Amino acid sequence: MEPTGWVKDIYDWIQANPNWTGILIFLFAFTESLLLVGIIFPGAAFLVSLGALIGLGVLDFYTAWLWASMGGFLGDGISFWIGHKYKQNLLKVWPIYKFPELIEKGQAFFQKYGGVSVFIGRFVGPVRPIIPAIAGMMGMNVKRYIVISLVASILWAPFYLLPGMLFGSAMETMAKVAVKMSVLVLVLVVSVWVVYWLINLVYKLWVPKAYHWLSGLLTWTQKHPKLGRLTSGLVDPRQPEKGSLAMLAVLLLVFLVAAIWFIAINATLLRWNQASESFFFTFHNPWTVLPMKWLLFLGHDLSLLITTLTVAAWFFYRRMTIVLNHWLLVSLSAYIFSVLICRVGHDQWHFFADHHVFWFTALACFWGILVAGAFPIKWRSWPYVFAGVLILLFAFSTLFFFKMNLAMVLLSILIASIWALVIGIAFRTRSRKQFLGLPVKITYITTVLLMPFVAWFLFSNNTLALKPEWLNQQNTEKTTGWANTGEQALDIIIQSDLPSLEQQLNQAGWQSFTPRTWGNVYQAMLVEPDAADIPLFSYVHQGEIERLLMGTVVGEKLTVLRVWKDRTIPSEDHWRGTLTEHQKDTDLYLFNHWGYVNNAEDKSVLLAALKSSLFITDFLPDETLTIIKKRK
């Protein structure tokens, strides 16, 4: 099937720039294979993403395979040459000596498997960026290395491309159902991966030095006559921390108010906010609202309150007074900050809401600080990764439902992280002993993931998308979110009540379909390919599925009329519609449904069904069909 819509835009660019695409794949594989660079550069993840484009039919598999194999082979070759040239002196070169544990693992791996380690190491993430250099350093025969590395590179490329290809094939099927949702899923997956990679990178490169930097900064402030009073409660356990934390909270609050005022008047930030709102408005439809609502309830106030009390109950049970006090301080102060942010930013008091990003972020960050010490050193970044992913998902859903604008969300995350860090410093100053983190980890994670279902049951009907006024005023005469296409013209104008129109078409032999989203996906999995009741998927216009969905079989195709409310006219009986053609289709050997073929330019089937004394049909100069119910 020829790619269309957003896939077609990517496809057209690749067709117009085939050489650049190959070079891009080569550079990803080459950079990911260089000595130590592969630890930082996520080239393998990019290759998985490129595999998704292959699955969507945008990229040619064999071309991508060739370029990726060449890049991996050359990158490994350069790493081998570096090791071969410098031998043992390589261990003294910056930044190699910064990674002693990784080098020791690489040497042990090579000593255990010998030359075969070059082949095995190509598929093992932790040692892949260093094994070729270790092989060169330890005197492996050059000809033997070339043969093994070439074979490994040729087999390695499909190893990373195939998972992406499967994901891309699944996305293509999703696109036939709800193309906008497939894009939203891709954006969310990429965002989660970026957060994972970024937090791991920051932790590995900066955290070992951050303690010394922070200690030096706090020591310097102690020498300052005024700053010393501000930070004394944080660094000196003999001093009360309440005063220092209170003064820092006031300073953060002043900064927040100033930043919100700046956001409100800065033209660039306003454009960013509108760009974000326009982006998420594009994806608003019944397909995406349900899963995004669960993400929103991750940070519902009820979820945060129960999470706070559950973890606090464990601390109380174990008589951990210091950590209990700091945990409750973080939660209570973050809630107050959140309410004040809503008051200043929205000019409303939101005492019980589902968009307190500051509260959610502060709790997640402080939880990461509490439990990270209980992990082995090499896994110590995982609590922060988990907290970062949770924060991203909740922030994503908050933006999706227009609860806060982009600048306010980012500002809340930044200040909440700083506040959690400040309280974390005060806590660590007074309690350096690491406690058993497993119960706290299990309690927090279980509560955070289960409470959204409770909040959904209680408050699902109260969660609405608060679309900005400027978005509500926009109008389009084309659909959005169609299967296999980006948009289609609504070239039918209807002035009638829908029951009368539906009755007329039923009398002419047309069948009524119930507009559904996920229910039709489930039905598509149950029915046989030749069943009479295979589902017809609903499509979306301005975030809504059809108000009327009817079809009639013509030969082997199904001609379908789809009708939506005309939002530009206040009257109840003004509608816009389009006529589409479908045929029976099966995706992934599992989903049987009426698959989209094209937009029906010939409307004679519909006109024949409306031949009666009840309706008047006519064509406007732009070929738009008008259907008007006669007055009695």
Q: What is the DSSP string of 377-411?
A: GGGTTHHHHHHHHHHHHHHHHHHHTTSS-HHHHHH
The reply to whether 445 and 572 lie within a common domain is no
pTM, rounded to two decimals: 0.59
510 and 598 both lie in a single domain: yes
- pLDDT for the residue numbered 481: 41
Q: Is residue 526 a part of any domain in this protein?
A: yes
Query: Is residue 192, in this structure, part of any structural domain at all?
Result: no
Task: Clarify whether residues 266 and 414 are in a common domain.
Answer: yes
Answer for the pair 434, 373: CB distance below 8 angstroms, yes or no.
Answer: yes
- Asked whether the beta carbons of 493 and 626 are under 8 A apart, the reply is yes
User: Does 198 fall in a domain?
Assistant: no
Residues 424 and 502 in one domain: no
Give the per-residue pLDDT at 307. Answer: 92
| Domain of 49, in residue numbers | 5-175
- Examine the domain organization and report whether 45 and 146 are in the same domain: yes
Counting beta carbons within 10 angstroms of the beta carbon of residue 622, is it exposed (0 to 12), middle (13 to 18) or buried (19 or more)? exposed
**123, 142, 175 - which closes a domain:** 175
For residue 97 the two structure tokens come to 């000596």
Whether residue 552 lies inside any domain: the answer is: yes
User: Do both 375 and 419 map to the same domain?
Assistant: yes
Question: Given 145, 175, 205, which residue is the final one in a domain?
Answer: 175
Residues 461 and 496 in one domain: no
Burial of 572 (0-12, 13-18, 19+ CB in 10 A): exposed
Is residue 10 a part of any domain in this protein? yes
How many Å is the maximal CA-CA distance in the chain?
A: 97
Looking at the structure, do residues 171 and 308 belong to the same domain, yes or no? no
- 459 in the same domain as 511: no
Contact assessment for residue 577 and residue 508, using Cβ atoms and an 8 Å cutoff: no
Whether the CB-CB separation of 149 and 135 falls below 8 Å is answered with no
17 lies in some domain: yes
In the three-class reduction of DSSP (H, G, I as helix; E, B as strand; rest coil), residue 545 is classed as strand
Q: How far apart are CA 559 and CA 606, in angstroms?
A: 9
d(CA 96, CA 89): 10
- The answer to the question of residue 473 being in a domain is no
- Report the number of distinct structural domains present in the chain: 3
> Does residue 144 share a domain with residue 58?
yes
What CA–CA distance (Å, rounded) separates 545 from 550?
A: 13
- pLDDT averaged per 10 residues in sequence order, the chain, 632 residues: 43 56 77 67 60 62 80 84 76 64 72 76 68 80 84 78 62 51 67 75 64 62 60 56 59 73 74 78 72 85 92 88 89 91 79 87 90 73 86 89 87 88 78 66 86 82 64 54 53 90 91 80 80 82 82 90 83 87 78 82 89 85 88 70
- Domain identity same for 443 and 528: no
Say whether both 536 and 450 belong to one domain.
no
Residue ending a domain, choose from 138, 155, 175: 175
**109 and 121 in contact (C-beta within 8 Å)?**
yes
Residues 6+ apart with CB under 8 A from 280: 399, 400, 402
Which pairs from 520-526 meet CB under 8 Å and 24+ separation?
520/593, 521/177, 521/591, 524/590, 524/591, 524/592, 524/593, 525/590, 525/591
Termini Cα distance of the chain: 49
